[in-house]
Amino acid sequence: MRKSSLGYFRVARKSLNVLFNKTSISSSSYAFTNVSPLGCTMFIWFTGFIHMFQFPFSTGTKKHQEDLNIVSVRQIIQDERWDDFRLVGFFSSVLAPARVSRILAELKEEPCLALKFFNWAAKQHVYGGHTAESYCILVHILFACRMYFDAQEVLKSLIYKRRVLPGFDVFDVMWSTKGVCKTGFGVFDALFSVLTLLGLFEEANECFSKMRKVKILPKARSCNVFLHRVSKSGQSNLSRKFFNDMIAAKIIPSVFTYNIMIDVMCKGGDLETARSLFEQMKKMGLTPDVVSYNTLIDGYGKFGQLQKVLCIFEEMKVTGCNPDAITYNALINCSCKSEQIPKAFWYLRDMKEKGIKPNLVTYSTLIDALCKEGMLQEANKFFAGMRLVGLFPNEFTYTSLIDGNCKAGNLTEALELFSEMVKTGKVLNIVTYTALIDGLCKEGKVEEGERVFRSMLKTGIIANQLSYTALVHGYFKKKMAEKAVDLLKEMSEEGIKADISLYGTIIWGLCEQGKLKEATILMDEIIDGGLKLNHFIYTILMDAYFKAGKAREALSFLDKMQEVGVVPSVVTYCVLIDGLCKAGMVEAASNHFERIGDVGLHPNTVVFTALIDGLSKNYSLEEAKNLFHLMVGKGLIPDKFAYTSLMDGNLKHGYLQEAFDLRDKMLESGIKLDLHAYTSLIWGLCQYDQVKEARALLAEMIEQGILPDKAAYSCLIRKYHQQGKADEAIELHNEMSERGLITGINGPNNNRKGSPFWLREVQAVQYSAIAIHEFMLAMKALSFSGQQKDGIIRLLPVMLFFAYLNRFIINNTSNQASVSWRPEDRELARSVGIFGAEQLGFGIKTSTKLVVKCFKAINKNQSVVS
């Protein structure tokens, strides 16, 4: 019998080799073999054929030989006699995996025994492991006996092994072993569900496709779960494909199905398709629920389409679908994002009136919106109010308030909120830290910002681009360029790659500090590193070179942009045209203005204004006017700079009336005059001797809350001096002094070597007014008749003007503490003074004394009566 059995064994082994195309067979070599459903069926049939013969498993002596059949196996399993020698011999056989499948099939009426045997066999060291067939046979048995949980666990184990040892398809093996039990096709729905549960979406989708081919389909509920999980994972394309396959397979979608897909479309920005699905759902006779409406409201709201949101909300109310807290939160959020804060509060009132309690999301949304609008007082009221109703702020609420307070410069309040977060155990995230770092740096407290940054890193939070950028901004604000560059190196060492935005910030900072060479070197390093510069960086560099007076180098950046295919922005052209105009290259600026349309851009008000200003200052007033009218014709609204530039040009050409006509249009447009506009008009009026009107305009300017500067006062003082109106000049001088615009002749503001002649002249006029004032004080101390005073006032300011002008010139060319008069100036002043006094009837002695006294007062920079 033994010889015969061995013969059958050889035949069986050879047959299996032929069937599976293997050179040798063992449990490990075919346990996870990729076979077709037909091959699996033949395998189960063939293992059944082998078990028609009995294979003795001997302990080594003939008298203990005993056959192992299904009856004895069942008994051993029931008695849990796992150490039975026959089982040990059973697992020593090369055909043990095949026999396990056979035994499991025989135990189909007793699923608990089958599961027990399966689990015990898997733990045997001599056993090579269960075949895919063994797993699938057990799943069929368990599912047929409604042991669904156990069936799912076995499926999970098989799928995990499938991922470790690929080479077969679970569905194929399940299909080939379906004849073991009459379970129906629900087991395949279970397989589809388990694949979904494990996040194997591609495999689940493939399983669905194979089910369709054999004309069995998963339940609609299982399909919904799949769609829901796939959409949450962000795989919108797979969601779309599967939904279309569902419809093609004639699986009837539910409201839940449509809600999932509407959400997918809204999050992907495909609002048109979302709305189309919503309408399709209604056509199918399905009634949209509150989730359907909420999803659409939220979707349109996030893209700022407030009007469509309102339409959907109205439709919702008409259909009798009652809004919930989520609906109102979406409406409030949409209103806040559209800067419709009053509308958001209207929804809050409506919400309360309908008996719906605002929740944490409601309060946090409103607090965030109020903070962004700078309405911190109202935000704090809401913050206190939410606590009164038993709601506790979360990380988002705190972060909004910290950011709002930092932006408003309320660092003390921000730090208190930060401490409160720590005390209450709130999780500090990167957004919270970045808001605080940014706030500290903007207030110039870079050292504190750096400490917060370092403490953040110690907590294990990884710094992002925004946190590094906030600190870099702070360093540059404090003129600590080296530290900013060191931080960039630190980022690189930490494995964090700086993005183009951060590089742009560093280049901006270097340019602000006049480090153009370093900025240009960094630009080259960025390019060498493989990053492509954007128009922002090129524009920063262009602007910096223009401001440094290097117009040709600035222009080269436009060429570089075009060489690498970077399209200039409107801001680029604004910098370009303004820089060229200020460099006196107005014709080149006009040429570039004409070419803006070539790159698909349209000039905005700022671009127009830059060229209008350049043309006006270049005495091309007619061209400036034509450009102004062209701007208005294109529907652009001129700003105060456009009006002021053209107004200034008209004044310089003597067109006083046209300048004031522009002033009137400016006011009619709701644009208030600024310091530059008022000063230009005052200068224009003074040029045409309309001093009274100029003085009235100065008073109007002050009444509007705009404080005049030295230039505005100097225009009037100079004109009063020319007209011999000493009292008015002195009055304005006193007003200047009261406003802190006069720092003294030897003050810090007088060191203006190399300043233009017109500035020297204006300041010289101011000093002449001071001289008149000094002399008037002297008149009060000395006894002169009214006629004598008038004569002296007419002549002595001339002498004093020369004297003060001489002092001013000396102060601009020398740092001497004491002033020495040039002999010719002294002699001129002395001669004029003495001659004037003699003409008024004074003797030579008295005249000389008076002049000497005036000289002494001038040299001491004090009043003659002090």
SS3 496: coil
Structure token pair of residue 540: 């920063």
759 φ/ψ sector (left φ>0, alpha ψ -120 to 50, else beta):
alpha
Please state which of the ranges 109-113, 211-215, 251-255, 393-397 shows the lowest mean pLDDT: 109-113
Would you place residue 731 in the very low, low, confident or very high pLDDT band (cuts 50, 70, 90)?
confident
- What pLDDT is recorded for position 765? 45
- What pLDDT is recorded for position 277? 94
Please state which of the ranges 286-300, 354-368, 406-420, 828-842 shows the lowest mean pLDDT: 828-842
Is it the case that residue 60 has pLDDT exceeding 50?
A: no
Q: For 233-270, where are the alpha helices, taking DSSP H only?
A: 236-248, 255-267
For residue 695, the surrounding DSSP H or E stretch is helix 691-703
Residue 567: CB atoms within 10 A of its CB come to 12
Please state which of the ranges 117-121, 386-390, 562-566 shows the lowest mean pLDDT: 117-121
- What pLDDT is recorded for position 15? 36
- What pLDDT is recorded for position 853? 62
Please state which of the ranges 119-133, 351-365, 575-589, 655-669 shows the lowest mean pLDDT: 119-133
What φ, ψ does residue 498 adopt, rounded to 5°?
A: -70, 135
Task: For residues 643-655, give the mean pLDDT.
Answer: 89
Please state which of the ranges 234-243, 246-255, 422-431, 726-735 shows the lowest mean pLDDT: 726-735
H helices, E strands: number in the chain = 46, 0
Cβ-contact 104, 121 below 8 angstroms: no
Please state which of the ranges 248-262, 556-570, 586-600, 732-746 shows the lowest mean pLDDT: 732-746
Is it the case that residue 38 has pLDDT exceeding 50?
A: no
- What pLDDT is recorded for position 781? 46
Query: CA 387 from chain center: how many Å?
Result: 30
Please state which of the ranges 79-93, 236-250, 284-298 shows the lowest mean pLDDT: 79-93
Please state which of the ranges 430-434, 499-503, 671-675, 768-772 shows the lowest mean pLDDT: 768-772
- % of residues, the chain, pLDDT over 90: 35
Distance CA 634, CA 628 (A): 10
- What pLDDT is recorded for position 64? 34
Residue 485 CB partners (closer than 8 Å, separation 6+)? 506
Structure token pair of residue 636: 């652009």
Is it the case that residue 847 has pLDDT exceeding 60?
A: no
The larger pLDDT score, comparing residue 733 to residue 569, is at: 569
The ranges assigned to domains in the chain are 1-184, 757-860
Cβ-contact 624, 616 below 8 angstroms: yes
Is it the case that residue 824 has pLDDT exceeding 70?
A: no
- b or e along 850-859 (b: 16 or more beta carbons within 10 Å of the residue's beta carbon)? bbeebbebbe
- What pLDDT is recorded for position 492? 81
Residue 406: CB atoms within 10 A of its CB come to 25
Would you place residue 818 in the very low, low, confident or very high pLDDT band (cuts 50, 70, 90)?
very low
Please state which of the ranges 27-41, 349-363, 642-656 shows the lowest mean pLDDT: 27-41
Distance CA 101, CA 46 (A): 11
Would you place residue 17 in the very low, low, confident or very high pLDDT band (cuts 50, 70, 90)?
very low
CA angle 277, 279, 281 (to 5 degrees): 70
Query: DSSP of 277-298, one letter per residue?
Result: HHHHHHHTTPPP-HHHHHHHHH
Mean pLDDT of the chain: 78
Task: For residues 366-373, give the mean pLDDT.
Answer: 92
Cβ-contact 261, 243 below 8 angstroms: yes
Structure token pair of residue 80: 């849990």
How do residues 446-458 score in pLDDT, each as one tens digit?
999 999 999 999 9
- What pLDDT is recorded for position 355? 93
Residue 322 CB partners (closer than 8 Å, separation 6+)? 290
- What pLDDT is recorded for position 754? 36
Length of the chain: 866
- % of residues, the chain, pLDDT over 70: 73
Cβ-contact 301, 308 below 8 angstroms: no
Distance CA 769, CA 804 (A): 10
The larger pLDDT score, comparing residue 489 to residue 7, is at: 489
Would you place residue 95 in the very low, low, confident or very high pLDDT band (cuts 50, 70, 90)?
low
Query: DSSP of 97-157, one letter per residue?
Result: HHHHHHHHHHTTT-HHHHHHHHHHHHT-TTS----HHHHHHHHHHHHHTT-HHHHHHHHHH
How do residues 255-304 score in pLDDT, each as one tens digit?
999 999 999 999 988 999 999 999 999 999 999 999 999 999 999 998 88
Task: For residues 629-639, give the mean pLDDT.
Answer: 90
Task: For residues 831-847, give the mean pLDDT.
Answer: 54
- What pLDDT is recorded for position 265? 93
Q: Which residue, 580, 566, 507, 565, is CA-closest to 535?
A: 566
- b or e along 433-464 (b: 16 or more beta carbons within 10 Å of the residue's beta carbon)? bbbbbbbbbbbebbebbbebbeebeeeebebe
Would you place residue 473 in the very low, low, confident or very high pLDDT band (cuts 50, 70, 90)?
confident
Please state which of the ranges 337-341, 738-742, 832-836 shows the lowest mean pLDDT: 832-836
Distance CA 709, CA 727 (A): 20
Is it the case that residue 655 has pLDDT exceeding 60?
A: yes
Distance CA 590, CA 610 (A): 10
Please state which of the ranges 119-133, 146-160, 405-419 shows the lowest mean pLDDT: 119-133
Would you place residue 53 in the very low, low, confident or very high pLDDT band (cuts 50, 70, 90)?
very low
Question: Packing angle between helix 570-582 and helix 586-594, nearest 10 degrees?
Answer: 160
Residue 551: CB atoms within 10 A of its CB come to 18
Is it the case that residue 8 has pLDDT exceeding 70?
A: no
Please state which of the ranges 132-136, 257-261, 426-430, 840-844 shows the lowest mean pLDDT: 840-844
Distance CA 449, CA 703 (A): 42
Is it the case that residue 253 has pLDDT exceeding 80?
A: yes
- What pLDDT is recorded for position 34? 38
Would you place residue 829 in the very low, low, confident or very high pLDDT band (cuts 50, 70, 90)?
low
Cβ-contact 262, 272 below 8 angstroms: no
Residue 502: CB atoms within 10 A of its CB come to 19
- What pLDDT is recorded for position 110? 83
The larger pLDDT score, comparing residue 839 to residue 249, is at: 249
Would you place residue 815 in the very low, low, confident or very high pLDDT band (cuts 50, 70, 90)?
very low
Is it the case that residue 238 has pLDDT exceeding 60?
A: yes
Residue 804 CB partners (closer than 8 Å, separation 6+)? 745, 764, 767, 768, 770, 771, 858
**Which contacts (CB < 8 Å, 24+ apart) does range 831-836 have?**
832/795, 832/798, 832/799, 832/802, 833/795, 833/796, 833/799, 835/795, 836/791, 836/792, 836/794, 836/795, 836/796, 836/799
CA angle 551, 557, 561 (to 5 degrees): 155
Structure token pair of residue 329: 């939160």
Is it the case that residue 437 has pLDDT exceeding 90?
A: yes
- What pLDDT is recorded for position 531? 84
Distance CA 403, CA 171 (A): 55
SS3 463: coil
- What pLDDT is recorded for position 364? 94
Structure token pair of residue 770: 């001071």
Residue 669: CB atoms within 10 A of its CB come to 12
